[in-house]
Amino acid sequence: MNGKADAVMRLLREVPSLRWIGIAGDRPRLRPVCRLFYRLVARCRCRLFRRNRVFRRRSARAVSRNILDGGKA
C-alpha cells in the first residue's frame, strides 16, 4: 500500500455501505483508474469543496455574538 488512493480504498472497505467500492478499487485493472480519480479530486478539491467565505465569517460573528449575549436571540 502506498497511501493516497490505496488508503481511501482501504477505508471504504471498512464502511459497510461502501465496502463494494473499496473491493472493486483493489482490482488490478481498476486501481489505475482509482488513482487517476484520486489525483483529479485532490487537484480540484478547493473548487469542489469550497465554502463561501463571507457566509463563514457572518456565521462565526453570529455565534460569537450569541455567546456574548448569553444565548439571547
Q: Cβ distance 32 to 19 under 8 Å?
A: no
pLDDT attached to residue 44: 86
Domain count, the chain: 1
For 16-69, how does the pLDDT look when each residue is reduced to its tens digit (9 = 90+)?
Answer: 999 999 999 889 999 999 999 999 998 888 887 776 555 455 455 555 555 556
Give a yes or no: residue 73 inside a domain: no
Q: Does some domain include residue 25?
A: yes
For residue 1, the 8-state DSSP code is -
Confidence (pLDDT) at 17: 94
Query: Does a structural domain hold residue 33?
Result: yes
- What's this model's pTM, rounded to 2 decimal places? 0.58
For residues 58 and 72, give the distance between their C-alpha atoms in angstroms, rounded to a whole number.
Answer: 17
Note the residue count of the chain. 73
Give the structural domain span for 23.
5-68
How far is the C-alpha of 69 from the C-alpha of 73, rounded, in Å? 8
pLDDT for position 26: 87
Q: Cβ of 26: how many Cβ atoms within 10 Å? A: 16
Distance from C-alpha of 4 to C-alpha of 49, rounded to nearest angstrom? 18
